[in-house]
Amino acid sequence: VNFAFRLLGGDAEGPRLGLFTTPHGEVPTPAFMAVATRGMLRGISPAVLRPMGASIVLSNALHLFLRPGPETVRALGGIHGMLAWDGAVLTDSGGFQIFSLASLCRVTDAGVFYKDPVRGRILWTPEKAFEVQAALGPDIAMVLDHCPVEPTDKDLVAPAVARTLRWGRIQRDLHAARGGTASGQALFGIVQGGVFPDLREECARGLREMEFDGYAVGGVSLGEGPEAMMDSVRTTTARLPRDRVRYLMGVGSPRELVEAVARGIDLFDCVFPTRTGRFATALTWGGRLHLKNARFREDCAPIEPGCPCLSCQSEVPRGALRAGFLAGEFLPPILVSQHNLHFTLTLMGRIRESLQKGSFPALAAEIRGAYPGKTPGPPPGDAILEGSSPPIPGGAPSIRNPNR
């Protein structure tokens, strides 16, 4: 079997425990994908990924198409060779990146015209996105969709849904002609629809009829606010088939991971852990730490005492990291990014364990305590299951809602 998704626990709309089998190994879900947009993780050696608990990595087809180009990637052993990673790989189609640079792009029914600073004007079409991903060789390819940058404007979102469905069908047909998952690659559809439940439903229904191998919730975390975002997630997962992987694109703060799992999401990607790390913010079980803060000047503790990650085990004191950040040294961003990714992957492991033991609500409460913020709590009607959980560490300041 090339691909299989086995649901090991959970229900249609609430938290789910699963096992996603790919040609490059098993992905226990809920899972977090470390981001290697240009074929390289930022400041993280591939050698430390497995020990951290990673099973799947994300890269970006459009970026790799532009630089170094699919021929070069193939010469390097395909996307797995380039990443030096033998686990599962998912590539995004690049639509989000284009649309987030609205001034550099123009959308037509054929595709998106994009002005690249180096390669000049290119037309990125559904056919091209599919063909490039087939050449790169990830385990999972994403469809090119139309992701409107303003998710609260119905006049923009409705045509984007229609286009997403039209492009989805083109790519589904190309995938079927290539043999579907027998080609060694799965293809996921992407549900758009902004903050509008009727459009989310229309898009989910249309994609579902096309029978994709998995489904993503796209077009979220674009400034619509945490409540509207979690409403969109719940609206969408409620309309997706139970036996397919559900992937929430570009979301990954500790709090959001927990809340989206509570709403039935299996897979995540986000630059949040590494980006916050580069900007001197450490994610810990007690909340986030701003390491440039003066209170860390003479702090001899590692980032998080007791943390088994390589950064904390190296015992570089917080005070030294602070001094290094202020001096523009490049080691501190690497050490804190590495700790944050380790933290995030450990959180996913704890989420899976809690789902197995029935203690997810206790873990969710712990994370809500450490990362208060505005992200809404349990979805309405969420079943409260009793179970054991580690003690809740001390409180911490709130975390901002990140974009990817």
- Distances 228 to 59, 189, 379 between C-alpha atoms, Å: 27, 22, 12
Does residue 116 have an active-site annotation? no
Give the active site residue among 145, 231, 269, 382.
269
For the purposes of burial, counting CB atoms within 10 Å of the CB of 279, is it exposed (0-12), middle (13-18) or buried (19 or more)? middle
Binding to Zn ion, residues 9-48 (CB under 5 A): none
**Rounded (to 5) percent helix, strand, coil in the chain:** 40, 20, 40
- What's the number of CA atoms in the CB half-sphere (13 Å) around residue 314? 16
DSSP-assigned letter for residue 191: E
Q: Tell me if 289 contacts Zn ion by CB under 5 A.
A: no
Does residue 92 have an active-site annotation? yes
Give the active site residue among 92, 139, 145, 231.
92
Largest Cα span, the chain: 63
Nearer Cβ to Zn ion, position 37 or 311?
311
In whole angstroms, give the CA distance from residue 149 to residue 151.
Answer: 6
Binding to Zn ion, residues 296-325 (CB under 5 A): 307, 309, 311-312
Nearer Cβ to Zn ion, position 190 or 283?
283
Residue 387 backbone phi and psi in degrees, to 5: 175, 170
Dihedral through CA 125, CA 126, CA 131, CA 132, nearest 10? 60
Nearer Cβ to Zn ion, position 185 or 337?
337
Binding to Zn ion, residues 196-235 (CB under 5 A): none
Total number of residues that touch Zn ion (CB under 5 A)? 5
| Shortest reach from residue 321's CB to Zn ion, in Å | 11
| Shortest reach from residue 282's CB to Zn ion, in Å | 8
| Shortest reach from residue 303's CB to Zn ion, in Å | 5
Nearer Cβ to Zn ion, position 55 or 338?
338
Segment lying near Zn ion (by CB under 5 A), choices 71-79, 228-236, 278-286, 337-345: 337-345
| Shortest reach from residue 280's CB to Zn ion, in Å | 15
DSSP string, 267-327: EEE-SHHHHHHHTTEEEETTEEEETTSGGGTT--S-SSTT--SHHHHTT--HHHHHHHHHH
Give the rounded distance of the alpha carbon of 74 from its chain centre. 25
Nearer Cβ to Zn ion, position 55 or 311?
311
**Near Zn ion by CB under 5 A: residue from 234, 246, 339, 352:** 339
The type of residue at 241 is P
| Shortest reach from residue 43's CB to Zn ion, in Å | 14
Residues labelled as active-site residues: 92, 269
Residues that bind Zn ion (CB under 5 A): 307, 309, 311-312, 339
